[in-house]
Amino acid sequence: MRVLVTGISGFVGLHLSEFLLAAHPEVELFGLRRWRSNPPTAAALGSAVGIVEGDLLDAPSLLRVLRATRPDVIFHLAASSSVASSWDTPAEMLQVNVLGTLHLLEAVRQMDLDAPVVLACSAESYGLVGEDELPIREEQPFRPVSPYAVSKAAADLLGFQYFQTFRLRTVRMRFFNHCGPRQSARFVISSLARQVAEIELGRRSPQIQVGNLDVRRDFVDVRDAVRAYWLAGERGAPGEVYNVASGQARAIRDVLDHLLSLSDAVVEVVFDPARLRPSELQVLVGDSTKFRTATGWQPEIPFERTLQDTLNYWRATLRG
C-alpha cells in the first residue's frame, strides 16, 4: 500500500509517520514537503519515507506529486493550524487551508485516483455552541468565530462537495483539540508545559503567563489521533464526516493545576491580556459515537500521561 501524507514534518504528520512505520511496515510511505523546506523533524524519518517536493498553492506541483507517488490513501494534514495567529494572518490562513485543499482535491480528480482522501478538519468549525447542544454531534451547524475556523469549515465543505459532485472518496475528520509531546508552544497545553519546564531550569522568572483559564476543551492525545486517521483511511465511509473526541471537557485551569502538581517549582500565575483572543469559545466537547461505531476506535492514552509526556518533552528539549 502506498500512502501519501501532506504536512509530514508537522506535529501530527510526524507522529502519524512514526505510527505507520512501526505498526504497518507493509506501507510504502511518501511525504509532501514544501519547496526548499527542510524542517529538522523531517530528518528523524530517515530514508524510510520518500519525500516529494511540492506546494499546496502550486496546483501543477500537486499533479506531479500524485503522478510520482500514485497513492492508495492520502492523509491531508498540511495546514496553517494556529487559531490564535489566524487573526493576524487571515489571508494566508484562507489561502493555505482552503485553496490548498481545493488544489489537492482537484489533482486527485484530474488523476482519477480511486484513493480515500482523509481530510484533517476541525471542531473549531462548529464555533458558537449552546450548552443545550453539547456534546457536539456531526449534525451541529457551523458557526465559526475565527479566521482559522472559517478556513477549516470551507475545507470541510469542499470535501463534501467533491464527494457529491465527483465521487472522490473523501473522509472528513473533525478533530477536537490535539495535544501531546512535540507540539508547538503556540498551543495551550504545550505553552503551559514549556513555561513550567523553563521555570524549573531557571530560564524564566517563576511566573506563568496565562489567558482565559475558564474555557473548556476536549483534548485528544496525538498518538490516539493518528490511530484514528489510519482507521479512517481503512474503514471510513466515503463522503462521511466523523468527530474524534474524548467526550470530556477540561477547564484550562484544571490542566494548569495538574501540570503544576507534576513539578516542585513554586510559581505565580499571571494573567496576560495579550493571550486573550478577539472571540473565544467557552466550551467545545464532542460526541464521537459515530466514529467509534464505524471503526472501533477509542482513546487509549490517559490525559494525565499526556500532560506528563508533554512536560517531560519540554524538560528534555530545553536541557538539550
Instruction: Dump pLDDT digits (tens) for 215-272.
Output: 999 999 999 999 999 999 999 999 999 999 999 999 999 999 999 999 999 999 999 9
User: In this structure, what DSSP letter does residue 134 have?
Assistant: P
CB 99 within 8 A of CB 80: no
Q: Three-state secondary structure along 249-303?
A: CEEHHHHHHHHHHCCCCCCEEEECHHHCCCCCCCECCECCHHHHHHHCCCCCCCH
Rg, the chain, Cα only: 19
Q: How confident is the model at residue 3 (pLDDT cuts 50, 70, 90)?
A: very high
pLDDT interval class at 40 (50, 70, 90): very low
Nearest one of 303, 238, 285 to 133, comparing CA atoms: 285
* pLDDT per position as a tens digit, 274-310: 898 888 899 999 999 999 999 999 999 999 999 999 9
Distances (CA, A) of 27 to 39, 225, 268: 23, 19, 49
The pLDDT score that the predictor gives to residue 59 is: 97
Contact call for residues 86 and 93 (beta carbons, < 8 A): yes
d(CA 115, CA 136): 29
pLDDT band with cut points at 50, 70 and 90 for residue 33: confident
Q: Which fold has domain 188-215+249-284+302-319?
A: UDP-galactose 4-epimerase; domain 1 (3.90.25)
Upstream peptide bond of 116 is cis (omega within 30 degrees of 0)? no
pLDDT at site 36: 60
Query: What is the per-residue pLDDT across 101-121, written as a single tens digit (0 to 9) for each?
Result: 999 999 999 999 999 999 999
pLDDT given for residue 48 in this prediction: 84
* Contacts made by residues 31-36, CB under 8 angstroms, sequence distance 24+: 31/4, 31/5, 31/6, 32/4, 32/5, 32/6, 32/7, 32/8, 32/65, 32/78, 33/8, 33/9, 34/78, 35/61
Q: Say yes or no: domain 2-179+220-247+288-295 is CATH 3.40.50.720.
A: yes
Contacts of 38 (CB under 8 A, 6+ apart): none
User: Hey, how many other C-beta atoms are within 10 angstroms of the C-beta on 58?
Assistant: 14
Q: Are 283 and 134 in contact (CB under 8 A)?
A: yes
Cell numbers at 70, concatenated: 500514485
Every domain of the chain with CATH number 3.90.25.10 lies at: 188-215+249-284+302-319
Q: What percent of the chain has pLDDT over 90?
A: 90
* Average confidence score pLDDT of the chain: 95
What residues form DSSP beta bridges with 23? Answer: none
DSSP state of 79: S
With 0-12 / 13-18 / 19 or more C-beta atoms within 10 angstroms meaning exposed / middle / buried, residue 118 is buried
Question: Is residue 44 very low, low, confident or very high in pLDDT (cuts 50, 70, 90)?
Answer: low
The per-type count for the chain, helices as H runs and strands as E runs, is: 11, 13
Please say whether the beta carbons of 54 and 62 come within 8 A: yes
- Residue 37's pLDDT is 59
Give span(s): CATH 3.40.50.720, the chain: 2-179+220-247+288-295
Instruction: Give the separation between CA 195 and CA 289, rounded to whole angstroms.
Output: 35
pTM metric for this prediction: 0.96
Closest CA to 73 of 197, 238, 185, 217: 238
